[in-house]
Structure 1
Amino acid sequence: MKIGAFTDKGKTREINEDNFFVSEFEDGSGIRFCIIADGMGGHNAGEIASKIAIDEIQTYIKESYHEGMTDQQIIQMMQDSMKKANTVIYNKSLENEMYAGMGTTAILCFIQNHYLCVAHVGDSRAYLIRGNDMYQITTDHSMVEELVNSGSITREEAANHPQKNVITRALGGDKDTQVDIYIQEYMSNDIVLICTDGLTNMLTNSEILAVINSHNNLQLAVEELISIANDKGGLDNITVVAISL
């Protein structure tokens, strides 16, 4: 499998509150997964929240996964890993007033032989790229997405809506959280791309697709995506992980 992964703080933020993890795909364990998290909160608490999410989720997966697990067991493991991270972040936010209200988005993408299993909380996104087509796998947990779904605004109006960065679900925001699961079959040479909104707020889907398809090297592709996002203003931290399946 070919992999590209990179993160950058962007042009306007003082620190990078994004974090990501990609498993060692060739270590023989059979575990193939990646995670991204986009933290939020004052006093650098967003950076703490996203780091906790990455650490807790990857540790839980590594300790829980074993060969021969059923599809339902894998889904349950993924949900449990996210809920464990939610509990740790929520409890830490109560222990230290500097961390009050901190939280993070999270996407966990687990790769099986013929399908992706994606666990998702927040407005970071997962896409499947197949040739000249790009499909969004996840649905944003955001105020704007709810307005679009209710018919209050159009998808075009959502792109510049003043509340487009208001999310409705995050790890650490409440004692309990709901984790959405998506199952996506894939074909040989498909690419899964997961990213924070620092990318999707700066580039359109067609722009992202054009960059991915212009490179044989996914590392160069994700670095170019981040460079373009920064050229357009770099208004947020930017993280991109792409994996050729």
Structure 2
Amino acid sequence: MIFCARSHIGNRRKRNEDCYHVPEDGRGRSLFVVADGMGGLSYGNAASRATVDAVVKAVEEESGLLPARLIFDAANAANVLVRRIATKAGQNTVMGSTLTLALVEDAQVYVGNVGDSRAYLLDGRGLTRITRDHTYVDELVRAGLIAPGEARAHPQRHAITRAIGIKEKVDIDVFEVQWQRGDTLLLCSDGLSNHVGDAQIELILKRDGGLGAAADALVETALRNGGDDNITVVLAQNLDGEVPA
């Protein structure tokens, strides 16, 4: 397996409130994480950093658990930590973060998500979105009240319905997918998905040039298309046990 990550502040933001994690070498069970913080001032950055740190710690300490249970526990650990930090910061402090993580074990990928950071899989059939956005607009689309094409321009497209740290209990979706040699996993914040459509993401990932070039192209395309948010991209490719030098 090879992997890479890119994170860009974007064209308009004053700070990067995204945070990510990739493994050291891709051997054994490998963890990938993307978190997009919210809260204003420095709280968004603190929330995403705490979310990633808590998830990494939980996975390291509870590695004997089944993947689905491990993802659930990691999300809850992140929720507790972010709420604790918000409480210490003051009664009126609102902090939260999205969370999308992937646990890779051989041919299996276990994905968890809260919020609107996404996970995709590119395989021989094309690009598939693994996760479901937890947003008000996505709920409207699923209910048939607006068309999918209307979602990107909807005035409430950024309103999320789930996040780490906002409520006492966190609800995380868990998915299991298989990947084979040559398949590519993408985790990203909404700074990418809000500006680069799925069809364009697929075209970029299918280009020759390597994983790093694909990550750069995704970020550059998001910036050209507006780039009004932080942009984070994590890519991993299954090479049947090969690891980066």
What TM-score range do you get, normalising by the shorter chain?
Answer: over 0.9
The number of aligned residues is: 238
- The answer to whether structure 1 residue 50 and structure 2 residue 43 are counterparts is no
For 1:110, which of 98, 103, 113 is the aligned residue? 103
Superposition deviation, residue 97 in structure 1:
2.6
The match for 2:184 is 191
Q: CA RMSD in A?
A: 1.4
Q: Deviations over 1:113-164 (max 9, x none)?
A: 2211001100000001014610000000000011111111111111211100
Instruction: Give the letter aligned to residue 224 of structure 2.
Output: D
**Residue 38 (1) aligns with residue 46 (2):** no
1:86 equivalent in alignment to 2:87: no
Q: Secondary structure at the match of 1:10?
A: coil
Please give the residue correspondences for 1:67-82 in structure 2 after superposition, counting only pairs within 5 Å: 73-82=66-75
Pick from 201, 205, 215 the counterpart of residue 194 of structure 2: 201
1:197 to partner: Cα distance: 0.5
Question: One-letter code of the match for 2:44?
Answer: G
Q: Secondary structure at 2:103's aligned position in 1?
A: strand
Alignment of 1:68-217 (within 5 A): 73-97=66-90, 100-131=93-124, 133-217=126-210
**What's the TM-score, normalizing by structure 1?**
0.93
Q: Give deviations 1:24-83, integer Å, cap 9, x for gaps.
A: 234x5x2211000000011121100000011111011112214xx5xxx22111110110
Contact 1:53 1:106 in 2 (8 A): yes
Distance 1:227 1:98, change over 3 A: farther
Gaps of 5+ in 2: 239-245
AA matched with 1:143: Y
Letter in 2 for 1:12: R
Q: Secondary structure at the match of 1:188?
A: coil
Aligned counterpart, 1:219: 212
Task: Return the alpha-carbon distance in structure 1 between the equivalents of residues 208 and 52 of structure 2.
Answer: 28
Name the TM-score, length of structure 2 as normaliser.
Answer: 0.93
Contact 1:41–1:99 (8 Å) recurs in 2: no
Matched-pair identity in %: 33
Aligned partner (choices 218, 232, 236) of residue 225 of structure 2: 232
C-alpha separation in 1, matches of 2:223 and 2:173: 30
Cα deviation, residue 187, structure 1 = 1.9
Q: Are the structure 2 counterparts of residues 115 and 99 from structure 1 closer, same or farther at C-alpha, using a change threshold of 3 Å?
A: farther
Which blocks of at least 5 consecutive residues in structure 1 are unaligned? none
C-alpha distance in 1 between matches for 2:91 and 2:14: 18
The list of structure 1 runs, each at least 4 consecutive aligned residues, that deviate by more than 4 angstroms after superposition, is none
Aligned letter for 2:225? Answer: K
